[in-house]
Structure 1
Amino acid sequence: MELPSQIDEIGGIGALAERLLSMWTQDSRLHTLATPPGADAAGASDLLLERFELHEAVSEPFRLTLQVLMLDAHVPLKQLCGQALTLRTQLADGGHVLRSGIVTEARALHADGGFARKALTLQPWIALLAHTLNSRIWQDRSLIDIVDDVLSQHPDLAVWRWDEGVAEHVAQGLFARNGGQRAYCVQHRESDLDFLQRLLAEEGVAWRVEESDDAPAGHGLVFFVHSQAQPQDPTSAGGWGAGMGLVGAGIRFHASPGQDSQASQDSIHALGHERRLGPTAHTVLGWDHKAHAAIAAEVPSRPDWGPEGDQGVAQLTPWLAQYDPTSGYLFGTPDEARFAATLLQQAEEARTLRWMGRGNVRTLRAGTWVAVATDGGLFGGVSGAHGDIPELFVTRVHAIGVNTLPKAARGDHADPKDHSDHIAFADAADDTDAGAHSSELQPLAARTGHACAFEAATRAQPWRPALQDGTGRRLRPRPTAAGPQTAIVVGPQGQLSPSGADDIHTDAMGRVRVRFHWQGGWQSDAPRGAEALDSCWLRVQQRLAGAAMGHQFIPRIGQEVLVGFLGNDIDRPVVIASLYNGQGESGIAPTPAGLTHDGADAGGAPRAAGAAGVSAALAQSSDHTPASQMNLIGEGAGGHSPAWHGAAPGAATEGNPGQANAAALSGVKSQEFGGSGHNQLVLDDTPQQLRARLHTTQAQTWLEMGHLLHQADNHRGSLRGQGLELRTDAWGGLRAARGLLLSTYSLRPAGGSGLGISPEPAGDNAAGIALARQMQQLTQAFHQAASTHQTVGLASGVQASRDLALSLRGSVGTRSLNDAVQDAQARNTASTSPASSASSASSGSATVPHLADPHIALVGQAGVGLTAGQDVHLSSQGTTILASGQDSHWAVGGQARVHTGQAIGVLAGAVQPGGADASGQAAAGKGLTLIAAQGAIDLQAQNGPAQVAAQQTLEIKTAQGVVNIAAAKRVVLAVSGGAGITLEGGQLTVQCPGKITVRAGQKSMVGPGTITWQMPNMPRSTYQFEPEAPFPFSV
């Protein structure tokens, strides 16, 4: 501010100097400068104060501008800055009022001879905190703890105290759920002053400046929450009639100001007030993400405006309300929300009625209260604690002081301006104005040496601070975070790297802690005071999250993450992504600085060692050996390189250091805790070589589809084939509760130039159904043939094949899910839904194949190969049918055994003879051939007769041995003509209806003889199944 001066009117500073030295003594000055007790500010007595101007407000650093004369014109300005000075103003009773501050600005105005005029700006020590800039975090600290921690770092200047009631206000206030402690509080790129102002205004704590002899700068701060309990102004407390025989209390309202500074009592010369409309209610709303519930509270006000009974004003009340939802977890209970809304409402109500006045009260300070009195003891009918005398809490002061020159020094240079007693009020919308302009106070200050204007609120109304950005009147109205930031995930003790298998540090909600790059604790940096080395628990954004469903990703210790902020509130961080911050070995350009890929530059000089090392690292990779996965930043410890960095697109062949990876790999890859194993989903988009692999290194198990390759991390190796591969080095299982179809028949290809996707349904099994029908027909035909030829039929096989064919033809409707479910449960072969049936009749596409029973349908177009290194087991609880439309061959290297619980039926030649088989040999007439190339053939009927019958010749021959026919009772040889031989007991009977012809070269009849023959021992055994289990095992 440019301060006016009259010194040039009396002959210049040179002429003034002589008069000042002779007439302007210390005792004759109203305002003087001194050094605070204990402060090191030499030369304060050499500063001759001409005038000053003060701007002061509650919860704001005052600004006191001094215009001084210095005896030494050569004192540099830098010597004045930082000095602690005290402005002493003499009172009417001979006492003094003090106002201390620190010189924060010095300006040189004029100089003449040995004198110089300077302009000095004094401010409280807290104003110096505006020149700081810090970023730090506190956890589980209350507002009092945080303020004490910040101010304790300025011990050379900072002196402060907490007024009564502040601790209780904080403990039971906005963070009552934690006893007043803020779980997480961040100062980020804020000055200490702005940070403290924001926190104090948010919790409704104001502050004022008071003089203190023990303070290094002569003053300290008082933090308070009860404005009613702040001290009374000394002039108001002394009473305007004190010392004059008059009775009264408070500051006198006197419309005619005195003519000099020696008036018996300072007074208020003009006083008025204004009212403004304000909100009639405050509603706040927050969100508790743990309880999944909104927290809201509404606090109404008592609007004191408008005539009573005015319906127009009453109609305004319902909708003059403020609804202020907040992001994040600002308050956790309805009581806390109600507390926050009450603070907002109190801040508004304190500003709807504003008092403004002007006078020459030298003791007036912001943060104190005054009582105003008139000769009659009344003013404006406003009641106070002392009857009808209004009590006002002073919130802002604008004062001007002038050291009036002696008459000899003034000469004829009196101020010619007309001094009006009329007060000019500031614009009511501008709370930063002091209440009156300097030009309106200067005439009074010139006559009396001091003039002031002030703003005040009714003392009974609680006063809450409000910042220019709206803090205090709204909940966190401005962003405190400019955008997302990066951070490193830390461990339980704040460590930046994992220890063994402890790769992760999280809580039950999947949250992590991080350390921002601007926090302390990096290398040798140590935290200051109560600062934290990490953050609070941060929620991690997932692509999908729901009740027992969604994505799950928890960043590992040491990973770099991107942290966003809900509502751009620096105290509401959330992890939104993770970042790669490293560079793979092959990430070096293949030809840096003109070097060729083979290790030599254009002139043939050897390539740099580092680049050659990269080629060597790449050359070590193979189908089963990864390489070039190390990180090149920070010697391998400075970050994390991508899993598939794709910076080695060259061919992965012998002699080439490439990895055939042109950054075409994408997907997801995890890492084993404390190990080198991993799980991954790889999507390979290499042109004409599309591939997808779901892989775990545990037992090297994977499902790979498309262009099958060997892959070792970043290395794309040799070809494995085309199609699909499901493999594991451990045990595997494939289970389908409703049926499984395995078929090598392709579906009908799509027409046009599409993607080649068949229009047929996934369960289409037309080929399998046709083959099942053939088997059914074949089984039925041979069952009839067996019945005709009087052998064991295929009754159970006929039913089983019929059931299989029917089950394979199962289908479900596609009109609705309910139709499909009902059809599947009913094992329908056609949809029972009328809509589906009608649509099927018209379009033929309203049903899709669906196995009616949980079968495994194995269909091979060219064949099915079933081989085993040891055993093959075929077992069924019901019927096992092996059917072939042409030939069935059994080739057994060892023994072939067929055991049955009942009959064995073998029928051959049931079909008319056909042509030659594949070997060119005719199959006609073969019948049943039973040959033992080695060993014996043993046919026994151990519990019944055995029949061997032939339509034509029956031959029993032996090439080298003997034919023995023996029976325990009787042997009969007979022909259809009636001739026969009977051997029974010890007799031989030969009988025939015709003659008996005996031809022999020699006939001999000797005595009787006996032949002994060993008859076979026929065992008898019975195996019975349990009634509950008709098969040796149950399923």
Structure 2
Amino acid sequence: MDIALAYATLNTALLTQDTRLLRASTPLGDALVAERCVLDEGVSRLFAVTLDCLSTSTQLDVTPLLGREISLDLLLADRSTRRWHAMVTGVDNLGADGGLARYRIHARPWLQSLALRRDSYIFQDKTSLDILTEIFADYPLASYAFEVNATPPKRAVRTQYRESDLEFVQRILAEDGLAFRFVHQQGDDDDSDGASSSSARHRLVVFDAGAALPANAASPIRFHRSDATETSDTITRFHSALTVLSNTVTRSAWDDKTLQAHAAQLASSEDAGKLPGLEDYDYDGHGRYADGDDAHRAALLRLRALEARQVRYEGGGTVRQLSPGETFEMTGHDRYDAQGGGDGKAGAEDGGQAIDELGHEYTVLRVVHEVANNLGSQAASLAGSTDLERGRYLNRFEAQPRAAAVLPAWRARPTAPEATVAVVVANDEAPISSGRDLRVKVQFPWQRGERPLAGGLPHRSHGDERGNAPGSDASGTWLRVATGQAGPNWGGHHIPRAGTEVVVEFLDGDIDQPVIAAQLYNDSDLPPYSAGIDGGANHGGVLSGWHSQALDGSGHNQWLFDDTSGQLRMQMATSTAASQLNLGHLVAQSAADGNRGAWRGSGFELRSDAWTVLRSGQGMLLSAAADPQATATLATPDTVRRLRQAQNISQRLDATAVQRKAQALRANDGFDEAIKAVDPAQDGKLPSTVNGQAANKAGLESRDGTDPVDGIADARVVMDAPMSLNLSTPASAALHATGDLHASAQEDVHVAARQTYAVVAGQAAGFYADQEGIRAVAAQSPVSLRAHTDALDLLAAQGVTVTSTDSGIDVLAKESVTLIAAGASVTLQGGNIVFKSAGLFSVKGASHSFEGPAADAAQLPQLPAARTGTYTQQVVYNDALGEKFEDMPFTVQHKPEADTWLGNTPLAGSTERVHTDESQPLEYALRYAKFKFDDEAA
């Protein structure tokens, strides 16, 4: 037939949709007539509509169709209709022939529009349903409902990273075991789904495994042939598809908060034949499970999904009302209906599962509908034939036993980048915000919102006015800071502060498990001591170390290393009181820049504008002696030698002085104890074991550790200077010893005072010179020798000369004055002068005058009668074995004067000596014991 003639004779009524099996409602009205349609829909799938339409216009403007909702009505067996709604995503012009054109319309659900938006967003402290609600708020066509039996758990963080909204939604639904289906509004006035007038007329329904699924309107459905004589739709083919899958599921994830793995293992109870244990084990990543129950839930979801996939059914027929996510009962099948088979032997004999025992009710998972209108032979010949017989409907479907859970397929999370950068954020105006375990919060450059990073963009979606970049610790989750050293009660950390650029890595490649791996310097935040090219420093980068700033920027701490060749140094410093410890080649160093200053010396410097304390509980050695052969840090061979020299000279001089009736040097007894404490041959050594380690050193004749290590036996300070020891102060100096104070010199001892030199002794004072004599010289004032309560003796083995060069000599006495020499004497007593001589008494003079009586009274000076320290007391404490109490708190109370002395007993076990002018009671207390001493005189 001529095509032009066929088109000319074509009955226009043939291109109308009245009484057709399939009718399409589009914004173009009657310009398009449905010819053929394939509709693929399923559980947790976005349905797809491929609709072929015919039009008498070869130049039809299809632009009004794009993004608009169309409706498809399928005529049912009872003359009612079933309706689908879909959004047009594309239109293809398949060409025209003889004035009849074919157009192919592609349509998807409103959910497909989520695939067109790609975003990066952090959702905090929300369930998956909360997230869906927030995302769907940005889509005006969104129509949805939740039919969830158990609310999914709330997650601290879920990150959508470079994913479309659709990919992200499908992923989090799969993670929580949530499936979805679509329900289409039936009839023009049907608003039972609660959708608003502006939303789509197909509704997304999210449900979990515990939700009750609706029964299909055609249930029960016959298994029967399909022909023109049948008055109802039937299933024409139906068979099972068995699959061997894992029968055991194990899930595990590490939890850093509890330092343990949360794990769960579940085995299937379904009979899949005689199979060994086939375990599906997966480590789900760091921090994925909050506790064991969470791991059990994840394992259970995975196991039920595997069990559901073990038995599937595939079928086909003419049942036009089949819909995914609905259940149906099948009748008329020899094996799969309520009466068919019944014993399950058929499946067992084949070595498979006893399928009959699964029941005769099924859940539809997927349906592919195919329908073709009968437009007449002339239109069909013009448009071209189709694979489906004209005026027919067929489908093919997939189902599972109704008892099996309906769960979505697992969707892997997108692999996070190996590393990315972020900036640390904190509370407003705060320099740092951290958790107890030193976690901080960061903001990524891709976060958009109210306060993004510099150059960032706002983000006014998801119903969040602030967006996703608050610029404070409300951003994201707490991130742990990786450090080179960390462990139970040991390690180090440098917690990043607000504004610090950091490198963020993701544990197990999980975008929801970020951790700070490093901190970065940049052009805005230069490193301390920065140097090198364009650095401006006077060196090429020899300084390194650690520098921190006070939180308010008012000061700093630093640990600096200077690796300049031949000028190595190290500095530990704080700006507080300019306190520093400098070692090595000392140069001036400013904390404000990285320049090396002028040379200041070499060695060791400890300085502070405030207080400095050196404290040791077991002895201290201060030595200026360089000993390249020293075998221990406390080795003091020169000190011991000099102490022995001091002991030797002191003992020899003391022996000479005592022989000549001079004051004895009682403090010499302390030399033995001092030498004993520092001499390694005696007590001056460490114990054989110190802190669990042998304390031995190599001997003179062996390199093995056999000799004890030098030490100081008790809490004493040893000062050793081989050249000179100088003490100087512009103010006053005090030197006090509770016991004896002994000073000796191999050569001379000189004491000089610009004003007054006074020596005061509580009991006795003695001056003895063995060779050169003693001189007392007052250049401009008198010399006074006094004995206030006793006699004053001037004794000499030879002569005594008393000379007055400018005045006279007065000899005064209260009672008498007697001069005796070689048997002769002169006595002045009681106003009389008595001359005695065994030989000649001669008075020679130019004249002699003996006048009458006269008297001249002696004017004697008054001597003070005060007494100082006449009464004294000291207590030495010994235990029952005679051992002295050492370093024991004691208290001395002088009751009449209300005076109190506090302290610790020294190593000798003795208290301080207390002096009183009169006999007074004292009360001593050693910790809890008390002792009283009354009227104890020295």
- 1:693 paired residue among 571, 579, 584: 571
1:158 maps to a residue whose letter is A
1:274 corresponds in structure 2 to: 241
C-alpha distance 1027-479 of structure 1, shift in aligned 2 (>3 A): farther
Query: Partners of 1:959 and 1:28 in 2: how far apart?
Result: 161
2:339 is the alignment partner of 1:378: yes
2:31 is the alignment partner of 1:30: no
Secondary structure class of the residue paired with 1:188: strand
1:802 corresponds in structure 2 to: 672
Query: Partners of 2:713 and 2:358 in 1: how far apart?
Result: 96
2:892 is the alignment partner of 1:1031: no
1:979 maps to a residue whose letter is A
2:640 is the alignment partner of 1:769: yes
Unpaired segments ≥5 residues, structure 2? 345-353, 876-910, 916-923, 927-938
- 1:297 paired residue among 251, 254, 264: 264
1:195 corresponds in structure 2 to: 168
1:508 corresponds in structure 2 to: 436
C-alpha distance 412-72 of structure 1, shift in aligned 2 (>3 A): closer
Secondary structure class of the residue paired with 2:306: helix
2:305 is the alignment partner of 1:340: no
C-alpha distance 947-544 of structure 1, shift in aligned 2 (>3 A): same
Structure with a larger share of its residues in strand: 2
- 1:392 paired residue among 338, 353, 362: 362
Greater displacement, 131-140 / 846-855: 846-855
Cα distance per residue 1:712-764 (max 9 Å; x no partner):
32233222222222222222222222222222222318xxxxxxxxx743333
Q: CA deviation at 1:931?
A: 0.9
Query: Partners of 2:230 and 2:621 in 1: how far apart?
Result: 111
2:492 is the alignment partner of 1:551: yes
Aligned residue runs from structure 1 range 920-931, under 5 A = 926-931=772-777
2:725 corresponds in structure 1 to: 864
1:221 corresponds in structure 2 to: 204
Q: CA deviation at 1:118?
A: 3.2
2:556 maps to a residue whose letter is H
1:943/1:1018 contact within 8 Å kept: no
1:906 corresponds in structure 2 to: 767
Secondary structure class of the residue paired with 1:235: coil
2:528 is the alignment partner of 1:643: yes
Q: CA deviation at 1:19?
A: 4.7
2:307 corresponds in structure 1 to: 349
2:649 is the alignment partner of 1:778: yes
Q: CA deviation at 1:265?
A: 1.8
Aligned residue runs from structure 1 range 547-626, under 5 A = 547-582=488-523
Identity %: 31
Q: CA deviation at 1:25?
A: 4.2
C-alpha distance 1025-367 of structure 1, shift in aligned 2 (>3 A): farther
1:169 corresponds in structure 2 to: 150
2:851 is the alignment partner of 1:973: no
1:840/1:847 contact within 8 Å kept: no
2:431/2:497 contact within 8 Å kept: yes
C-alpha distance 877-565 of structure 1, shift in aligned 2 (>3 A): same
Cα distance per residue 1:397-428 (max 9 Å; x no partner):
2333333453566689999xxxxxxxxxxxxx
Aligned residue runs from structure 1 range 240-251, under 5 A = 250-251=220-221
1:839/1:845 contact within 8 Å kept: no
Query: Partners of 1:17 and 1:770 in 2: how far apart?
Result: 136
Q: CA deviation at 1:13?
A: 10
Q: CA deviation at 1:158?
A: 1.1
C-alpha distance 464-504 of structure 1, shift in aligned 2 (>3 A): same
Q: CA deviation at 1:837?
A: 9.4
1:504/1:557 contact within 8 Å kept: yes
Cα distance per residue 1:648-667 (max 9 Å; x no partner):
779xxxxxxx5314222222
Cα distance per residue 1:303-325 (max 9 Å; x no partner):
3222xxxxx54xx24xx334444
Cα distance per residue 1:113-137 (max 9 Å; x no partner):
4333333322111122112111112
1:365/1:394 contact within 8 Å kept: yes
Aligned residue runs from structure 1 range 284-683, under 5 A = 284-306=251-273, 313=275, 316-317=276-277, 320-374=278-332, 377-379=338-340, 381=342, 390-404=360-374, 406=376, 445-446=388-389, 449-469=392-412, 478-492=413-427, 495=428, 499=429, 502-519=430-447, 520-521=449-450, 522=452, 525-528=458-461, 529-530=463-464, 531-532=467-468, 533=470, 534-582=475-523, 639-647=524-532, 658-683=536-561
Query: Partners of 1:348 and 1:1008 in 2: how far apart?
Result: 149
Cα RMSD after superposing both structures = 3.4
Cα distance per residue 1:282-318 (max 9 Å; x no partner):
3433444334444333434313222xxxxx54xx24x
1:119 maps to a residue whose letter is R
Query: Partners of 1:1030 and 1:368 in 2: how far apart?
Result: 100
Q: CA deviation at 1:16?
A: 7.1
Secondary structure class of the residue paired with 1:290: coil
Aligned residue runs from structure 1 range 977-992, under 5 A = 977-992=822-837
2:874/2:914 contact within 8 Å kept: no
1:699/1:728 contact within 8 Å kept: yes
TM-score (norm 1): 0.75
Greater displacement, 930-939 / 47-56: 47-56
2:893 corresponds in structure 1 to: none
Cα distance per residue 1:185-229 (max 9 Å; x no partner):
221111101111111111111110110365644312001114661
- 1:184 paired residue among 154, 157, 164: 157
2:22/2:34 contact within 8 Å kept: yes
Structure with a larger share of its residues in helix: 1
1:644 maps to a residue whose letter is Y
Cα distance per residue 1:867-919 (max 9 Å; x no partner):
10111211122222222211222221110011112222222135xxxxxxxxx
1:817 corresponds in structure 2 to: 690
2:74 corresponds in structure 1 to: 89
Query: Partners of 2:506 and 2:842 in 1: how far apart?
Result: 124
1:62 corresponds in structure 2 to: 47
2:621 corresponds in structure 1 to: 741
Q: CA deviation at 1:850?
A: 1.8
1:728 corresponds in structure 2 to: 608
1:257 corresponds in structure 2 to: 226
Number of corresponding residues:
839
2:622/2:720 contact within 8 Å kept: yes
- 1:707 paired residue among 576, 585, 600: 585
C-alpha distance 12-1002 of structure 1, shift in aligned 2 (>3 A): farther
1:970/1:985 contact within 8 Å kept: yes
1:679/1:695 contact within 8 Å kept: yes
Cα distance per residue 1:765-804 (max 9 Å; x no partner):
33333322222222222222222222122232x2222322
Cα distance per residue 1:380-404 (max 9 Å; x no partner):
54999x9996111111223333334
Q: CA deviation at 1:145?
A: 1.6
2:738 is the alignment partner of 1:877: yes
1:227/1:393 contact within 8 Å kept: no
1:233/1:369 contact within 8 Å kept: yes
1:942 maps to a residue whose letter is H
Secondary structure class of the residue paired with 2:648: helix
C-alpha distance 720-87 of structure 1, shift in aligned 2 (>3 A): same
TM-score (norm 2): 0.82
1:541 maps to a residue whose letter is A
Secondary structure class of the residue paired with 1:514: strand
C-alpha distance 448-648 of structure 1, shift in aligned 2 (>3 A): closer
Greater displacement, 901-910 / 122-131: 901-910
2:97 is the alignment partner of 1:112: yes
Q: CA deviation at 1:527?
A: 4.1
2:664 corresponds in structure 1 to: 793
Secondary structure class of the residue paired with 1:340: helix
1:77/1:108 contact within 8 Å kept: no
1:603 corresponds in structure 2 to: none
Query: Partners of 1:686 and 1:18 in 2: how far apart?
Result: 103
Secondary structure class of the residue paired with 1:183: strand
